[in-house]
Copies of this chain bind each other. A is one copy, B any other.
């Protein structure tokens, strides 16, 4: 595929080479760091207030069920973090762990009982599921009213048609909040979204379209992605390719959102996380940029909590 993984070391070397030019000292314009952790904290503070209203006035405490199948290690870490943050804001969470050997019927039976449980307002199935499961079919059996991950086709269809009352998937919802923290009015801007998944790229494109943005969706087959990218006012990288977006891919003053979470290992065998964007190089040109970690990740979980609160509010008002 034409998306090439770049080495940060090479880029750092190139960058320092430039710095040695004696006659043109580089004036570094450092981009605003979009602090996802701090924005997530603000959002969660707001959620605590809404949850208090639900409890005080309607005797409802939001409940989130999380189903995890098999022993995927990353899933265990993610679910633990979601449960911890539920507790922080006052959402009751219920983790259901099923063995990877379970038949789809067993999973569907559990989902059915959760769909019918009035104490549970949100239900998510932690992805990825083991390979024998047809994930899109499983997701279709979540009650759309409890689909706080926003992945049921009816909710994606509502997003598509701009019909209110559906759930917006958490990562793209978080991305839009991160963009809005820098710039409110996006009308007429050009955005490039790299990656066309159902979880991120496609729903995010619709959220941007709704704001009057001109959106280009790039995939792994795109020839010369750099060329389209360098015309964009907003760049969202969700390709899962470390250091894909380099300094010369981004135009001066762009807003850059890095959705990538890539696990690499350093020379000493120690694991570390990097995004799809070469932060150091790009932050010299961008107006604002999200770090990895601490950018999109915290906002994704905060948006899951927000969707769960919305589900509980809908339950009360329905």
Contact = CB atoms under 8 A, between A and B. Distances in A.
Contact of A157 (B154, B188, B223): B154
Contacts of A79: none
A206 interface: yes
Main secondary structure of the interface of A (DSSP, over half): mixed
A315 interface: no
Interface string A173-211: 000000000000001101000001010001001100100
A222 interface: yes
Interface in A150-172: 151-158, 160-163, 166
Contact of A155 (B136, B155, B157, B212): B157
Contacts of A67: none
A159 to B, nearest CB: 8
Contact of A214 (B155, B166, B221): B221
Contact of A198 (B160, B217, B222): B160
Contacts of A198: 160-162
A162 B196 CA distance: 12
A112 interface: no
A222 to B, nearest CB: 4
A53 B158 CA distance: 36
Contact of A158 (B153, B162, B190, B222): B153
Given A153-B158, A161-B198, A205 B217 contact: yes
Contact of A154 (B153, B206, B221, B227): B153
A215 B217 contact: yes
Given A214-B218, A214-B221, A215-B217, A161 B136 contact: yes
Nearest to A160: B156
Contacts of A157: 152-158, 160
B223 A219 contact: no
B217 A214 contact: yes
Given A154-B154, A202-B209, A217-B209, A223 B161 contact: no
A219 B228 contact: no
A153 B164 CA distance: 11
Nearest to A203: B160
A140 interface: yes
A216 interface: yes
B221 A212 contact: yes
Contacts of A219: 209, 212, 214
A163 B156 CA distance: 12
A280 to B, nearest CB: 28
A217 B196 CA distance: 14
Contacts of A166: 153
A221 B279 CA distance: 30
Contacts of A154: 153-154, 157
Among all A-B residue pairs, the 5 with the closest Cβ atoms: A157-B157, A153-B157, A216-B216, A156-B157, A188-B221
14 contacts: A140-B163, A154-B157, A155-B157, A156-B161, A160-B198, A162-B198, A190-B222, A202-B206, A202-B209, A212-B219, A214-B216, A214-B222, A214-B228, A216-B217
